[in-house]
Amino acid sequence: MNILKLFIASLSAIFLTLSIWTLSYQYNCIMIIFPIIFLITISLSFIELKTRERICFKNCYFISNSLFARMLSSKFLIILFYILTSFIMTISALYGVIEYSKEIWMYLILHIGVTTILYKYLFVIFSKTLKEDYRALFAREWTINITALIMIVSYIYFSMNSFEPSYLRVTLEETLKVASNSINSNCTIINYFLKLQKEIDSISWWFIDKGTENIQDRTYNIGIWIGFLFINSFAILGVNRFIAQVIYLIDKIFKSKDMT
């Protein structure tokens, strides 16, 4: 029952955020609140983990008041680096969400269910191994690593069984123009980053499409496409981390309420 409650709450929060963004990103700059929510959510997941790791490392090897101990205790560099990392993941992830087909949206429901079950299962398993303060954190990170592999394989499957992007043309210049015109937002900031990501995406697709036209061996052709899609699939890792972090946060909220 607790897993079902966690699944429904997580599914609602995730779908509300992603679907409102998808339906409304082109209308107004107020929609930038959703990329900010996404960015903060995955940034917190990175920062919390790396801060804990540094504290453990410091306590194991350094005298508490030494220079290196103070440097390791500083959160500034950790926060700066992982906000930048999360910013790139956020742009890629939210651009990708706009392009999701109905099949991928349906798959996300299943993925959220699998992630919820796996997280709770690992949390129970780790109760015999880890300290209580670190149990949920380790369960979340292991869940992210396992479900990332599942999501990448699923992404490659959907991509291999779908059509090529409609913006592909004979020349790179035409492809860039059509791709850039295929996405638009009234908000200058959102419009700039989405068009930039779209143009980068279109360049990659054009080169791989033209490159494989001259390769007659079907095995090599399929291998190149799988490799290309595998590299591109890293854009969805932000979505995977966002899903796991939302489940992790909602679970913490439920536990805090049960304790009161």
Q: 3-class secondary structure for 222-248?
A: HHHHHHHHHHHHHHHHHHHHHHHHHHH
- Sorted by sequence, the CB contacts under 8 Å of residue 194 that are 6+ apart come out as 25, 95, 98, 183, 185
Residues 213-258 have pLDDT tens digits of 666 666 656 666 666 666 566 678 899 999 999 999 999 998 887 6
Of 58-62, 69-73, 124-128, least confident by mean pLDDT is 69-73
Distance separating alpha carbons of residues 41 and 39, to the nearest angstrom: 5
Both tokens of 17, joined, read: 């955020």
Q: Where are the beta strands (DSSP E) in 102-188?
A: none
Residue scoring higher pLDDT (78 or 258): 78
Q: Is the pLDDT of residue 11 over 90?
A: yes
Range of the domain at 95: 2-259
pLDDT band at 260 (very low <50, low <70, confident <90, very high): low
Average pLDDT on 187-214 reads 82
Distance separating alpha carbons of residues 226 and 214, to the nearest angstrom: 17
pLDDT at 74: 67
Residue scoring higher pLDDT (62 or 181): 181
pTM: 0.87
Both tokens of 187, joined, read: 């908000």
pLDDT at 131: 83
Average pLDDT on 131-150 reads 91
Q: Is the pLDDT of residue 42 over 60?
A: yes
Distance separating alpha carbons of residues 210 and 238, to the nearest angstrom: 29
Domain count of the fold of the chain: 1
Residue 217 phi, psi dihedral angles, 5° rounding: -70, 115
- Give the chain's largest Cα–Cα span: 67
User: What is the average pLDDT value for the chain, to the nearest integer?
Assistant: 84
Q: Is the pLDDT of residue 81 over 90?
A: no
**Nearest C-alpha neighbor of 22 from the set 96, 111, 108:** 96
Residue scoring higher pLDDT (68 or 8): 8
pLDDT at 8: 95
Both tokens of 141, joined, read: 């990170």
Q: Is the pLDDT of residue 212 over 80?
A: no
Q: How many residues does the chain have?
A: 260
Q: What is the residue type of 70?
A: R
Residue scoring higher pLDDT (216 or 185): 185
pLDDT band at 201 (very low <50, low <70, confident <90, very high): confident
pLDDT at 224: 60
Average pLDDT on 96-106 reads 87
Average pLDDT on 151-170 reads 77
Distance separating alpha carbons of residues 151 and 154, to the nearest angstrom: 5
pLDDT band at 158 (very low <50, low <70, confident <90, very high): confident
Contact 221, 76 (CB under 8 A): no
